[in-house]
Structure 1
Amino acid sequence: MNHISTPPGLGRRSFLRYAGTGAAVVAAGSAVPLLTGCGTNDGTAKVGTGSNGGKFALKIAWIPNSEYAGIFLGAEDGFYAKQGLTVEVQPGGPNSTVIPLVTTDRVNMGIEAIPENVATAVARGAKLKIVGAGLQKSPECWVSLASNPVKSPKDIEGKKLGITLAGKNTALVFMKRNGVDVSKVKLVPIQFDPAPLAAREVDAIWGFASSQPVSLALRGIKTHVMPLADFGFNRMQNVFFVSQKTLDDSAARENARKFMTASRQGWEAALRDHKHSADVIMKKYGAKLGLKHEEEIKTLAAFAPYVTGPDTESKGLFWMSDALIEQTITGLSSIGIKADKSLFTNELLGG
């Protein structure tokens, strides 16, 4: 089979951000085969509503890796089976879409890396709801060398910053909201490869905490990460979403609720044991996709702090607090995306 390949240095979350802007990305390779916690579906036949014999199809936005560790542990460690579900995970990748499969009932649920994709679809008439936040905190960040760290927005002034085309608008909004004099900043166009930072051609780069810093760490380069969320610019990411039709059908809604319950348990297990998560991912998908065991462990370790939030200890993972919803709406508005509270519901999480 052909492996999915991406342009050099193109991080998985970075790729999704880039592709989401409508930019043309050329990537070789064919679609990855379906990954099942048993069962198959080619993604063309409608799954429909109702209990469907406990079969549940999920579409993820990117290739199987530690970013979805809790999902794979949900299948491997039997959490879905205990809920009476047979879960099929349809992988994503270059030019792979999620929203159309949910809106046309070809899968029961989808995970989108960024909420703006769902919000935009809803604004265009799609009947969708975000039902959980895989990431309570956005991993978008400024990455600098530990020997010359950028620790606060004001530190950006006088610096040379490597910025991707896709990240430029959000970066400018962030700087203006934090009182940075943009005229004192030099923006240098870069791709997603952190090489310009490693070579000290720039002082910091725009990136994701679970991507470029991990890549550099594996090369022995220590970095400092400044998350945008720590400075008033946050929105939930890796959002779970379903169609309104699913929520309106009692049997389909119950299956979706069971899926979210087991997925929470899977993620709790993943957060407890990063090595076990990496072992599962490598055993099932690593050889086919060219994943590296050490990188998957380090990626999950970098990813983990963004999965939990102030309310997840009492309310459980994926919970969307009023504060997080407001932060997300504000963050989307800042980059020109309209959304309101009706886009979000905790009803599948016991809310």
Structure 2
Amino acid sequence: MTQLSRRAFTAAALGGLASAALLPGRAAQAATSRLALQAIWVNDPEFNGYYIAMEDGYYAAEGLEIDYIPGGPDVIPQAALLTGKADVALTSPPETAEAIFGKGAPFKVIGAQFQKSPDAVIFLEDSGIRTLKDLEGRTVACPPLNTELFRILLKHDKIDADKIKIVPYTFDPTPLVLGEVDAIVDFMTSMPYVIGQAAHKKADYILFSDAGLVYGQNLVCVTEETLAKRRADLVGFLRASRKGWETEFQAPGQAALHWQDSWFKGNGYTPDMTAFHSKIQVDLIKAKGGVFSMSDSWIAKTLETLNAVGIPATPEMFDTSLLRDL
């Protein structure tokens, strides 16, 4: 069978996507201030709201011209901030917190795209797995970088990790499809669809956040210098991006159907897969206070998770003041 994964089916497209960042129509001529945005991953529905904001002129209305830089498996978004390649980067909580509190990086988080991270335990529906407790006596494939977080999740839910065989996962779901493992740890935004197509069986999942380990994803991260010098531009970026996501929520994935030869060129997504990803992520992104919101309770829970994995993160890594100006 074809081996597909969040990383595998996109890796070959990286070269083309890098050049695609400058496709026509991604910045309005009337824009007056350039802002470089570094994505955390290659072009896929995870970033639909930003694409819409570029194509529909929402950034231009804020006086901004966006230079969009795709991410990938070898891209470290935080590094793009430190080198000056990007003004804004979408980052993950552990890596961002480790950079700030472990290495002294001058970063501030000014918003969170995902209120709930797509990180999940994914399995076939007919496996009999319904709760994390059902993983005992089974084999779970987990990315090495996520193993500690997965063990913290198990401990939180009072599950004996020693009763679970945890093996390395390389973002290839083939072992799950073939029955060599019982579950995998990956993003649930696309992987259940990929597995379902390959195994001809429905896949299900348990979100880390729903199981008690709350944290977001795609943090909107900037340097303290950029925050101080370009506050108005950053407020405009957040406002336009929020509008892009609100437009996306009205018909999830519809705009993306027209991007097969532009944003999504070569990324391996079929129209059905695009629709699946676009729809399933909506509830992970929506927030009571609007897209990018970071409530006091959300920050507290995120810090609790980061502290649990040994990162001494504090509320100082977050700056919610820009959100109040939207």
Instruction: Tell me if TM exceeds 0.5.
Output: yes
SS in 2 for 1:226: strand
Equivalent residue number for residue 332 of structure 1: 306
Instruction: Give 1:146's match in structure 2, choosing from 121, 125, 149.
Output: 125
Kept in 1, the 8 Å contact 2:9–2:268? The answer is: no
Kept in 2, the 8 Å contact 1:134–1:239? The answer is: yes
SS in 2 for 1:239: strand
Equivalent residue number for residue 54 of structure 1: 33
Q: Note the alpha carbon deviations across 1:280-327, whole angstroms, 9 max, x for none.
A: 43242233444432222211222222112xxx23x2111001111111
Equivalent residue number for residue 262 of structure 2: 284
Letter in structure 2 aligned against 1:240: V
Equivalent residue number for residue 235 of structure 2: 257
**TM-score for the superposition, normalised by structure 2:** 0.88
Q: Does 1:90 align with 2:69?
A: yes
1:12 is displaced (CA, Å) by 4.2
Equivalent residue number for residue 349 of structure 1: 323
Q: Does 1:272 align with 2:250?
A: yes
- Separation (CA, whole Å) in 2 of partners of 1:291 and 1:14: 8
Kept in 1, the 8 Å contact 2:215–2:298? The answer is: yes
1:263 is displaced (CA, Å) by 0.2
Q: Does 1:38 align with 2:27?
A: yes
1:248 is displaced (CA, Å) by 1.6
Kept in 2, the 8 Å contact 1:110–1:240? The answer is: yes
Q: Note the alpha carbon deviations across 1:153-191, whole angstroms, 9 max, x for none.
A: 222222232333233222222112211122322234343
Runs (4+) of structure 1 exceeding 3 A deviation are 7-10, 12-15, 26-31, 288-291
Q: Does 1:320 align with 2:294?
A: yes
Q: Which stretch shows the higher mean deviation, 94-103 or 65-74? A: 94-103
Q: Note the alpha carbon deviations across 1:135-162, whole angstroms, 9 max, x for none.
A: 0002111112111242222222222323
Letter in structure 2 aligned against 1:299: H
Instruction: Give 1:294's match in structure 2, choosing from 272, 275, 280.
Output: 272
1:261 is displaced (CA, Å) by 0.3
Kept in 2, the 8 Å contact 1:61–1:98? The answer is: yes
1:98 is displaced (CA, Å) by 1.9
Letter in structure 1 aligned against 2:54: A
- Separation (CA, whole Å) in 2 of partners of 1:271 and 1:345: 26
Higher relative contact order (CA 8 A, sep 6+): 2
- Separation (CA, whole Å) in 2 of partners of 1:276 and 1:83: 24
Structure 1 pair 179–104 and aligned structure 2 pair: CA distance change class (3 A): same
Q: Map of 1:16-165 to 2, 5 A cutoff?
A: 30=15, 32-33=18-19, 35-36=21-22, 37-38=26-27, 53-112=32-91, 114-123=92-101, 124-165=103-144
- Separation (CA, whole Å) in 2 of partners of 1:347 and 1:127: 17
**TM-score for the superposition, normalised by structure 1:** 0.82
Letter in structure 1 aligned against 2:293: W
- Separation (CA, whole Å) in 1 of partners of 2:9 and 2:195: 15
Letter in structure 2 aligned against 1:263: S
**Unpaired runs of at least 5, structure 1:** 1-6, 16-25, 41-51
- Separation (CA, whole Å) in 1 of partners of 2:238 and 2:61: 13
Q: Note the alpha carbon deviations across 1:261-292, whole angstroms, 9 max, x for none.
A: 01001011112212323224324223344443
Equivalent residue number for residue 4 of structure 2: 9
Q: Does 1:228 align with 2:208?
A: yes
SS in 2 for 1:350: helix
**Unpaired runs of at least 5, structure 2:** none
SS in 1 for 2:253: helix
Aligned residues: 317
Letter in structure 2 aligned against 1:244: E
Letter in structure 2 aligned against 1:293: P
- Separation (CA, whole Å) in 2 of partners of 1:149 and 1:134: 33
Same amino acid, percent of matched pairs: 28
